[in-house]
Amino acid sequence: MGDKGTIISIKSQIVEVEFYDAPPNIHDLYVLEADEQVVLEVYSSASDRSVYCLALTLTTKLHRGAVVLNTKSSLSIPVGKQVLGRVMNLFGEPIDGGTGFDPNIKYKIFKETEESANIIVPHEVLETGIKSLDFFTPVLRGGKIGLFGGGGVGKTVLLTEIIHNIVSRETKNYVSVFTGIGERSREGQELYEALNQTKVLSSVTLIFGEMSKNPSVRFRTAYAGIALAEYFRDREQNNVLFFVDNMYRFAQAGYEIGTLLSTIPSEGGYQPTLATEIAELHERLYSTRSATITTFETVYVPSDDITDPGVQSVLPFLDSRVVLSRQIYQEGRLPAIDTLASFSNALNPEIVGENHYRTYLESQKILKEAVNLERIASLIGESELSQENQIIYKRARLIRNYMTQRFATTSIDISETNTYVSLQETINDVQSILKGLYDKIEPQKLMYISTLKDLKN
């Protein structure tokens, strides 16, 4: 062990340590001299002779005057093929009931970003098999997509379906990393069972810092997940599918730490370092010439207010934004994606092709016009609209209902359920609706069909 220090104050998860000799480095780990299982991480400077530390373990054994030892090392986690098909926590301990990992194969969770010369810009679409997602907000292979929504509108269900659809198909030179930040243990258990049932668990590694954990653990779990993705990208040369649930909980954990440190809050009461912390994470999630990282992250929207600073801090780093609507959810149209509020940088002819792009523009035009017509129809009735407006109104309803979809991961037996719909099929079906080939069909009949071929005459 290295230099010693003494605890001079404890405030929940924030511990102030006075060091004896040379000051420790940021991210150095202190352990309690009396019990080396008690771990503190150096977080920031407190004074000329002391530092603030994050308590990563229980603080029940800490007290003023207790001696701590500087390990002069930072947090590291097990990596490599040994973690595939496994579930671990921030400390690299298995939480799936399996055997321990090789302590000699580890990777530090903090790392400097790569030289920009090796970073590539995503330009290829990655299909998810989810109609509304692929058509209105296509995902870039090697890009970042955010799923935004309040509580109970289907963010985690949508993310789980994306994992199910992509992981089972993108098996060649692909691994997946799932990072659970501040979510329920039950959801992690359900995801683990779903991946096991679909026989794709062997190519996925999961790391959790669930909501019952202290803010320091939840905060650092995000960095640990990114470290896993970095290792597979840089060392193993694997393409990575990186899933985060929930990025807002990371911001929230930082907010809790900032409050304990008594820092002066910024907009919305959040910690002044929020933008920097969000940027640090996303700047590590890039793609190189050798391998890609495609990121899917859910973002909880408190009180359904997407203007919340914690939510807005994530937006600048995303290539695609998917907004889930509570109103659409209550109408029973799932996934509850608000296509008019969602957006993707991939929607240009050079990436998605002229055919998809033009079909998208035409459908969005009809959906926007239908919003205004809906207000009129609710007052005077649909039959009082002009003939032209009636056609627009009905086609918009046909498109909206067509975009509903059953999910394999919410079915009783997901191993025998195939709800995947190719992008080309979706484009062809939307074009058929826009051409008026289904004007005589009741919109209700399009609810939860896979393609228009499923319509019963």
Q: What is the CATH number of the domain that holds 43?
A: 2.40.10.170
Q: Which residue among 86, 106, 155, 213 is the active-site one? A: 155
Residues 262 and 316 in one domain: yes
Residues 44 and 192 in one domain: no
Q: Which residue among 183, 187, 277, 297 is the active-site one? A: 183
Residues 210 and 125 in one domain: yes
Residues 450 and 302 in one domain: no
Residue type, 11: K
Q: How many domains does the chain have?
A: 3
pLDDT band at 377 (very low <50, low <70, confident <90, very high): confident
Q: CA 364, CA 17: separation in Å to the nearest integer?
A: 58
Residues 148 and 30 in one domain: no
pLDDT single digits (tens) 281-303: 999 999 998 899 999 999 999 99
pLDDT single digits (tens) 299-318: 999 999 999 999 999 999 99
184 in active site: yes
Of the CA atoms within 13 Å of residue 5, those in its CB half-sphere come to 32
Determine the distance from the C-alpha atom of residue 207 to the mean position of all C-alpha atoms in its chain, rounded to a whole number: 13
How confident is the model over 424-437, as a mean pLDDT?
96
Residue 301 phi, psi dihedral angles, 5° rounding: -110, 105
pLDDT at 250: 95
pLDDT at 432: 96
pLDDT single digits (tens) 234-273: 999 999 999 998 899 999 999 999 999 988 888 788 999 9
pLDDT at 120: 86
Residues 131 and 209 in one domain: yes
- Range of 49's domain? 4-74
Residues 308 and 364 in one domain: no
64 in active site: no
pLDDT at 130: 95
Residues 213 and 254 in one domain: yes
How confident is the model over 179-186, as a mean pLDDT?
88
pLDDT at 379: 74
Q: Which residue among 184, 199, 365, 435 is the active-site one? A: 184
**Residue with token string 């404890």:** 10
183 in active site: yes
Residues 328 and 200 in one domain: yes
* DSSP per-residue codes, 277-322: HHHHHHTT--EESS--EEEEEEEE-GGG-TT-HHHHTTGGG-SEEE
Is the pTM higher than 0.85? The answer reads yes
pLDDT at 115: 62
